[in-house]
Chains A and B, each alone.
Chain A
């Protein structure tokens, strides 16, 4: 069943490429349909799932077929509380991106096929329980994203795409080095077996190096400071749907790797170096937020907030590895739960923000916030949606981001009080930067591009202002297609922020298991 979910989009992609006569609109409709089917299938699987503690035990929909028996690698997939939320989020984000892209007119058939390919690879990453399988999916997703940016991006796309490709590929190779190290130590690539009997427990030096290689690979992907410089150009030049998927799904592969591979398989080393991750997390939080604060380019700003948000995740995961004197196991589990929730939350909210940035670009052909202003006039619905997205991203209660960050802070204060206190300042900085952005783009007098978008009285004929080029609001403001893409993401972030139990019931057992494994 899980394999069907993973490979169905790939199959659809192949069909799309094989049938060149298919009109573009139909090809894009295939993307939306397949993503919707995937979401439905995954939801059904969630409802029917029989999940245990996860990670080492009680996984569901497991399938294991020998692949390269010589090295003990098998096609091994399955879900637990760590992977299922991300699988669901992935399908949802691809569905939204598909709806948003329904009007794409640049090689729509290939575009659709490429995204379906990416969907398969992304689902594969989160479903795989074998390091080699994980690696293959991980790398192929990078290839897919490379072509999305290079083929459909804005002006500087070629350079940005290459930088993205080389940087993340290089990172994945560091990760491969770590996988090989684990294999040599344990004789298997199977994540479940490795987590049950963590190798290298008695070889701290080797474990340290393996964790280093693994962490560099994952840190590039996440990205954390100082490995983040590929992110802003990649986002700035990617098409809106590509940015949404890149931020929502591909970044999570990095953080997911930490919680799925690094923590359970190298628990000793994780404990030993937990403070390093805490520090990297806090630096990412503050650095990402501060650099975002100084941006004039809306999309770059959102990109840097991703660095900030992923920093929270690392803070929570790092704090879970710090054993204080007292019995802080509950607090550490809360921190891991928050980190997992942040992955889902950031996926939903940032995907929405990037799609909204695309809406803006389509109207004004610029992301430069200095050239807008007063945009709430001609585009009230857009302003409302963006404001909701911004507040959700700055962690206003009611949305998932608040619960995620709240749990990360509350949980990590017990073990790393100073780092947590510094990290909390991050939510003030994100508030400052999002409010500044809202004010620059939407409030005040109309800016240069706003006038062009809204159409203002420019010609005076006989003393009377004549409105030239005035377009009806409906055509300027968010259209139904864009609304259908963005609103569900924000709505879901709201619903899960108010009624988090279904999601937390899924995450909490697995988060507890991870916490116990690193205890």
Chain B
């Protein structure tokens, strides 16, 4: 049983590493390795979901390398593996540059996700968690010649790592409060450690999930290739932030305060990032903001204790959003733009991809009977405060508006001058899109009682939406879509700041990045200009004093290097009454040896070695003082 789980994590890790090590020589077969491994992972993931294996290997004190598939992982694991395979298949023809690194890092990323999903303790989790960040850095900066892309990867990595520090704190709190790193033991932690652990985990999860105030890194991450966004910034990495909160929901509940904080963070993000999405004209930026907003619903669910609902929304959103990112990537490749205002006619010119895009945007809008309509209502049904529910409903309306914006802008006819050539995607790409579109449309089935009931009983009971709620949210979606159709570019005026992602990055630059940079420069100048000269000056002073003292005390020392040595030894003998012969001999040998070597090295400092002996005299005087003190 455990071999299955080990293979599940090891297969993509080994294949990805092998690709990266062998390098460009296997540029041609990289895609085959990627798709092959992705298929194996999907099969193993389904098997793991059915068999629920566990694996464990000794690691550090307090935490083994421990993986286990429980009810939550059993739902998420196959979903992520399926999306990953779809992305890999699409990329086999869709990605034409840096293929070895693309597939290598993507597989490595998949391995990290598998471990993140199945980790049962904080060491294992942190291991995979930060590995996701590192592979994301490499994938965003794939085209390293373009500074903006590497910069985007760096921003994404640093912001998420800043949040990851919370996991380190949580691990320390776990060790202090429970004596181990096990996630399951956290709700039983002693006193304040429980709160510290909860706070650390919440910060780390909100950072990865691109929730407020961390959201801006996701905007910069759009510098990466679209297939990377399709996996990392929809189904897997960002989603893992929400997943972590779902996993530690008992801890959030036990703390008392963390649940509401998390719920509000999710609800506010759903609204704020919904506005940001609505203000975008760049398709990928719109989708990115929408990812943060949709993850807001997952986070809201985790904070409200509706684990089953959050899981459903996470899975359905993964299919929807990766589909949309892949189509955006195909259009970017074909038409050289991702600006929605220039993509008119794109939908009609790409028959299959176009229909898939329609399905994806309508699902994102929450239109019945598509997937997100159901799962979002599941989330909202689990919310127990009126304010949260209202914010959630507002977020839902915004989803429909921005999804409608994307849909109706690309539905517009092409500008007459630029008649779009009909684009026929290769069969594998079309296949991947259709599979994801079926998922985007049909995953609402998760809300059917036959599926939802077992899920709820395994993940924690929560109320399910009634017919009225479903009808209301369907009407909200339809109404918002109608509004978007009338005025697709801007259904209502959105503040400029939303277009700039609420100026979060500028704010962080102003409050953190620039002050830290200035402090670093200042300290470096202090180090070179003050501390180093001070030490040198001090040394010079000590040498001068010591030399002076040694000269004055002519009874013991007359002059020169050798006599200083002898003098210090005599001094030491007299006062400490023991034999320093060993050191004396060693020092003599060194002196002789260094002299000859020094002459050989033809270096000019031979005459300066006496400074050392002068210092030796001063220090041995200190030794005498100390000896007297100790006695």
Contacts and interface: CB of A to CB of B under 8 A. Distances in A.
B597 interface: yes
Nearest to A421: B169
Given A140-B590, A143-B594, A205-B629, A330 B582 contact: no
Interface string A318-341: 000000001010110110010000
Contact of B126 (A210, A397, A412): A397
Interface in B191-220: 196
Contact of B615 (A73, A147, A166, A294): A166
Interface in B159-178: 161-162, 165, 168-169, 171-176
B51 interface: no
A158 B604 contact: yes
Given A173-B619, A290-B516, A406 B126 contact: yes
B623 interface: yes
Contacts of A391: 134
Given A176-B623, A180-B576, A443-B147, A166 B612 contact: yes
The residue among A158, A397, A427, A508 with the most chain B CB atoms within 10 A of its own CB is A397
Q: Interface residues of B toward A: which range? A: 35 or more
B157 A151 contact: no
Contacts of A377: 145
A306 to B, nearest CB: 14
A407 B629 CA distance: 39
A435 B156 CA distance: 12
Interface string A341-363: 00000000000000000000000
Given A183-B578, A421-B169, A143 B520 contact: no
Nearest to B604: A158
Contacts of A139: 586, 590
B154 A67 contact: no
Interface string A10-53: 00000000000000000000000000000000000000000000
Contact of A397 (B130, B137, B190, B608): B130
B619 A68 contact: no
A500 interface: yes
Contacts of A380: 23-24
A178 B627 CA distance: 9
Given A136-B586, A421-B169, A291 B527 contact: yes
Nearest to B597: A147
B383 to A, nearest CB: 33
Q: Interface residues of A toward B: which range? A: 35 or more
Contacts of B527: 229, 291
A4 interface: no
A376 B531 CA distance: 37
A162 B130 contact: no
Nearest to B150: A443
B630 interface: yes
B128 A443 contact: no
A210 B590 contact: no
Contacts of B141: 443
Contacts of A403: 60
B582 A290 contact: no
Contact of B171 (A226, A396, A410): A410
Contact of B524 (A295, A428, A444, A504): A295
B578 A500 contact: no
A471 interface: no
Interface stretch (B261-269, B280-288, B532-540): B532-540
B605 A150 contact: yes
The residue among B123, B131, B175, B579 with the most chain A CB atoms within 10 A of its own CB is B175
Contacts of A326: 176, 190
B62 interface: yes
B616 interface: yes
Contacts of A161: 603, 605
A445 B145 contact: yes
Contact of A504 (B61, B532, B601, B626): B61
B576 A334 contact: no
A188 B430 CA distance: 81
The residue among B129, B536, B578 with the most chain A CB atoms within 10 A of its own CB is B578
B255 interface: no
Given A229-B532, A331-B175, A177 B619 contact: yes
A136 B584 CA distance: 10
Interface string A162-186: 1101110110011011101101110
B438 interface: no
A431 B157 contact: yes
B460 interface: no
A61 interface: no
B127 interface: yes
A110 B165 contact: no
B165 A226 contact: no
Nearest to A414: B176
B626 A406 contact: no
B147 A439 contact: yes
Interface in A98-155: 110, 132, 135-136, 139-140, 143, 146-147, 150-151
A470 interface: no
Interface in A213-256: 213, 226, 229-230
Nearest to B154: A435
Contacts of B524: 290-291, 294-295
B257 interface: no
B256 interface: no
A110 B579 CA distance: 34
Contacts of B169: 409, 413, 420-421, 424
B535 A334 contact: no
A183 to B, nearest CB: 7
A287 B160 CA distance: 23
Contacts of A328: 176
A396 B168 contact: no
A425 interface: yes
A200 B631 CA distance: 10
A328 B147 CA distance: 48
A167 B516 contact: no
A427 B172 contact: no
B519 interface: yes
Contacts of B128: 397
A68 B61 CA distance: 42
B154 A439 contact: yes
B520 A229 contact: no
B626 A411 contact: no
Contacts of B492: none
Nearest to A213: B626
22 contacts: A73-B582, A136-B583, A161-B605, A162-B605, A166-B615, A167-B535, A170-B619, A180-B627, A290-B520, A290-B523, A291-B524, A330-B62, A331-B172, A380-B24, A413-B172, A413-B176, A424-B165, A435-B158, A444-B146, A500-B60, A501-B58, A508-B61
In the A-B complex, the 7 residue pairs with the smallest Cβ-Cβ separation, listed nearest first, are A413-B172, A414-B176, A294-B524, A397-B127, A294-B520, A293-B520, A229-B532
Interface of A: 67-68, 70-71, 73, 110, 132, 135-136, 139-140, 143, 146-147, 150-151, 158, 161-163, 165-167, 169-170, 173-174, 176-178, 180-181, 183-185, 200, 203, 205-206, 209-210, 213, 226, 229-230, 287, 290-291, 293-295, 326, 328, 330-331, 333-334, 337, 374, 376-377, 380, 384, 391, 396-398, 402-403, 406-407, 409-414, 417, 420-421, 424-425, 427-429, 431-432, 435-436, 439, 442-445, 500-501, 504, 508
Interface of B: 20, 23-24, 58-62, 123, 126-131, 134, 137, 141, 144-147, 150-151, 154, 157-158, 161-162, 165, 168-169, 171-176, 179, 181, 190, 196, 516-517, 519-521, 523-524, 527, 531-532, 535-536, 539, 576, 578-579, 581-583, 586, 590, 593-594, 597-598, 600-601, 603-605, 608, 611-612, 615-616, 619-620, 622-623, 626-627, 629-631
Given A166-B539, A180-B627, A409-B168, 15 more contacts: A132-B582, A136-B582, A143-B590, A174-B619, A177-B620, A209-B629, A210-B630, A294-B517, A295-B524, A380-B23, A397-B128, A402-B130, A410-B62, A435-B154, A500-B60
